[in-house]
Amino acid sequence: MSQPWSQRFDSPLHPVIEAFNASIGFDLQLLPVDVQGSQAHARMLARQGIITAAEGEQLVQGLEQIRQEYAEGRFPAQGEDVHLAVERRLTELVGEVGKKLHTARSRNDQVATDLRLYLREAIDGLGGQIQQLQQVLCRVAADHVETLIPGYTHLQRAQPVSLAHHILAYFEMLQRDRIRLREIRQRVNVCPLGAGALAGTTFPIDREYTAALLGFAGVCANSLDAVSDRDFVVEFLTAASLILVHLSRMAEELILWSSQEFGFIQWQDSCATGSSMMPQKKNPDVPELVRGKTGRVFGHLQAMLVILKGLPLAYNKDLQEDKEAVFDTVQTVRDCLAAMTVVWQEGIRFQTARLAQAVGEDWSNATDVADYLVTKGVPFRSAYQITGQIVKFCVHAGRLFSDLTLAEWRQFHPDFGEDIYQAISPQQVVARRNSLGGTGLERVRAALAQAQALCADQPNGATPGMGSG
């Protein structure tokens, strides 16, 4: 293969080194944004009189043809990387003028521009996907405002909650994810193009014009920083890691809930898998994979931090390693969001009879016994101690609070009355927790309405007005 660079070199690259150095194997997917960036650059060169208007038009048209070839799967991917492959093909298509495209530009500002364009699009897409998942969660929550589920702390039964309230906790996490992506997008959306290799250029370019053509909100201020900054990649990988943390926690609960020990949900055939040996098995492979895929995304974040930490200014080839981290992360988050959305849409069914049984079979209403005494004037700590005695009695006797006779209640405190039974029913226990942000049914209905409004519009990528809670 002929040298992509100058006549300074006498002999070609050793094939092992050539292959080692190349990024075309993975950066080809930047082609659409590379073409977009180059078209803007060509237009700017023409507008500034650095090339003629006719030349600018030829370049833009040739690049358009390349976009088409790529879309149709017939772009000849030859060269070290996508940038050189495009320039080479462009020159084949439009002749000598193709060699003018790289005036006042380096691959260093070019690749940084491509990556920002790519990430901006990816971020918008992921925001839309998160919103879709939120919409599905709202739909499921709407069906289950009055369904109760044991709430846990330390994975021990703590207090029952509305199932909708539990589901809306995930809505909140996803809402933060969406806001975070929107915030990061602002720092992604700045244009490095025109920084040249590191120091700018002698040509009278108009960086602001190019940036505007590409929809960037501004230009990177310092040319050295422009070509070597990958903070936006780290930020994106961090946001992606948190999205996967949330999906993974969700996945873990679905896995637990579908175990026979919990029995809170059942997997529908469309989203569960079988065992090759045990005919009775129905496995939650999907959430397990989501949980497992967190590993690679966290790994990419760690890798990127390590790649950057010792780099002197400005561009260093180490930065080529950013791409696979970004591509794989984008694809992984996309896949996980898509799979989880289908799971919530149709993959699981809540076992309401089992849930009703679960919330009535323990002493997770003990706080409400204590709170009952507090309403009778007993200080909370004393009420708490008295309730502890009642729990101890019940545990030893193998009985639930609801089994106790009024006489038995009164042995522990004379202020217990007939209304204690009502006060500790799971429905009451949940319905009455109407403090702000609590599981009380009025609160949950209001929270659901707010959540529905936050994700109501068409998920088209653009992140809408945010600020839940």
Q: Which strand (E) or helix (H) includes residue 157? A: strand 156-162
* Least Å from the CB of residue 8 to ligand ARG: 14
Q: Give the Å distances, CA to CA, from 329 to 143, 241, 284, 293, 319.
A: 33, 9, 23, 10, 16
Given a contact cutoff of 8 angstroms between Cβ atoms, the answer to whether 82 and 92 are in contact is: no
CB nearer to ligand ARG: pick between 4 and 360: 4
Question: In angstroms, rounded to a whole number, what is the distance separating the alpha carbons of residues 454 and 206?
Answer: 40
In this structure, the chain runs to a length of: 469
* Least Å from the CB of residue 357 to ligand ARG: 58
* Least Å from the CB of residue 310 to ligand ARG: 17
Helix axes 231-258, 163-188, angle to 10 degrees: 170
Given a contact cutoff of 8 angstroms between Cβ atoms, the answer to whether 145 and 448 are in contact is: yes
The dihedral region occupied by 215, where left means phi > 0, alpha psi between -120 and 50, and beta the remainder, is: left
Query: Active-site residue numbers?
Result: 154, 275
For the chain, give me the number of helices (H) and strands (E)?
A: 19, 6
CB nearer to ligand ARG: pick between 107 and 180: 107
Which residues are within 8 A (CB) of 182 and not within 5 positions of it... i.e. 6 or more apart? 127, 463, 466
* Least Å from the CB of residue 154 to ligand ARG: 47
Which residues of the shown chain bind ligand ARG in the complex (CB under 6 A)? 23, 27, 81, 107-108, 111, 315, 317, 319-320, 323
Given a contact cutoff of 8 angstroms between Cβ atoms, the answer to whether 149 and 165 are in contact is: no
